[in-house]
Amino acid sequence: MHELSIVSSVLDQLEELKKQQPEGTRFSKVGLRVGELAGVDVDCLRFGFECVVKDTDWAHLALEIEQIERRQRCPGCKEEFRAENWATECPKCGEAATITIAGEELQIAYVEVDE
Amino acid sequence: MSQIVVEKKVLNENQKLAAELREKFRQHKILVVNIISSPGSGKTTLLERTLERMDKSKRVVLLTGDLQTENDAKRLAQWGFPVKQIITGGTCHLDAKMIEKHLADWPLDGFDVLIIENVGNLVCPTSYDLGEHFKIVILSVTEGEDKPLKYPSIFVKSELMILSKVDLLPYVPFDAELAKKNARSVHPGIEIIETSSKGEGLDEWMKWLEDKLAAVKSGELVSA
């Protein structure tokens, strides 16, 4: 249940970003990238976002979340694969110790600006 | 409509503070571990047993997080090492700012080990870097063997899993081998130590800590 603090961290960063834009710039949408290892529940995040922006200057701001699957790379045969059901063993050569290359993201990817 | 590419971590502020803390810990050569588990898995008990066995010449300090009460700090203070309670007042995790604030009036010089006992929660503490060298996850045998599969993030991010309360294994339907297999399936490299408050595995755990501390002191272990 730390999704509310995550929403406020996003909005704090957008405040800062807005200050760097020309006067009167309005952000219409923010795009987040959330990996499945990030420890964030996307539904809670959406709900928290709605609650926080309601009746504020951000009320018009849309939220788009791109969920990122966990992907692994095999150090042996270089195979890259989706870690289905959290199994991290290389499906090609059976190597157990593979490396996580995606799925830990918790990022603000972009904002859209009203012209 | 136009788009501005941002590409920044959501927890940028926390990340910045954690990086500052990490640099401080590096300068002072302090080993920092962040202990995470569900409520009731035995974090405080493990720490009591740890402090009881700890070489008294080592300068160990503890920060212990809870939503309310000073109870854990009181429990841990009896071993003579400095302990500070972080009362989060409802927040379900510790963040780097809380660590910075509670360390502010402690002279870090001469400290050997900082043990952070996080709030009992397997989800939220996972997202917050505290500048530690290692996250350590505790799973007790009175929970389910499938916890590593249900809450994979913390098992992926932890260097070590402590399987606690193993003295209860004869009395509970818990398959320890399956639990370890599950942990290794989400994190193949995870180290595992089985412990109980009666003493099992505690020598191995103390050795783990001592080895990591020696590596920090020699400069061999630097946290990224």
> What does the CA dihedral B202, B208, B214, B215 come to, rounded to 10 degrees?
-170
Mutation target for A interface from B10, B91, B126, B156: give the one with most A CBs within 10 A.
B10
pLDDT beyond 90 at B188: no
| Dist. CA A88–CA A72, nearest whole Å | 7
pLDDT in tens, A50-100: 999 999 999 999 999 999 999 999 999 999 999 887 788 899 999 988 899
| Better-scored residue on pLDDT, A77 or B92 | A77
- Mean pLDDT of the B101-118 span: 94
Dihedral pair phi/psi, residue B106, rounded to 5° = -105, 130
Single-letter amino acid, residue A96: A
Put simply, the answer to whether B10 touches A98 (Cβ < 8 Å) is: no
What per-residue confidence (pLDDT) applies to A107? Answer: 96
pLDDT in tens, B112-143: 999 999 999 998 899 899 999 999 999 999 99
Q: ipTM strictly over 0.85?
A: no
pTM over 0.90: no
Helix (H) or strand (E) holding B14: helix B12-27
Q: Which CATH number fits domain A3-15+27-70+102-114: 3.30.2320.50, 2.40.128.50, 3.40.50.300, 1.20.120.530?
A: 3.30.2320.50
Q: Where are the domains of chain A?
A: 3-15+27-70+102-114
Q: Where are the domains of chain B?
A: 12-217
* 3-class SS of residue B45: helix
Among all chains, which residue has been given the structure tokens 């588990």?
A: B37
Task: Tell me how close the Cα of B149 comes to any Cα of chain A, in angstroms.
Answer: 7
Of B12, B153, B189, the CB nearest to A39: B153
pLDDT beyond 90 at B215: yes
Put simply, the answer to whether A39 touches B186 (Cβ < 8 Å) is: no
Instruction: Confirm if B99 and B21 have CB atoms less than 8 A apart.
Output: yes
Put simply, the answer to whether A32 touches B10 (Cβ < 8 Å) is: yes
Class of domain B12-217: alpha beta
What per-residue confidence (pLDDT) applies to B224? Answer: 67
Put simply, the answer to whether A106 touches B127 (Cβ < 8 Å) is: yes
Among all chains, which residue has been given the structure tokens 């951000």?
A: A58
Measured between beta carbons, which residues in chain A are less than 8 angstroms from residue B2?
Answer: 112-113, 115
What per-residue confidence (pLDDT) applies to A87? Answer: 80
Residues β-bridged to residue B3: A112
> What confidence tier does A1 reach under pLDDT thresholds 50, 70, 90?
low
Put simply, the answer to whether A88 touches B185 (Cβ < 8 Å) is: yes
Alpha-helical (H) ranges within chain A are 3-19, 42-53
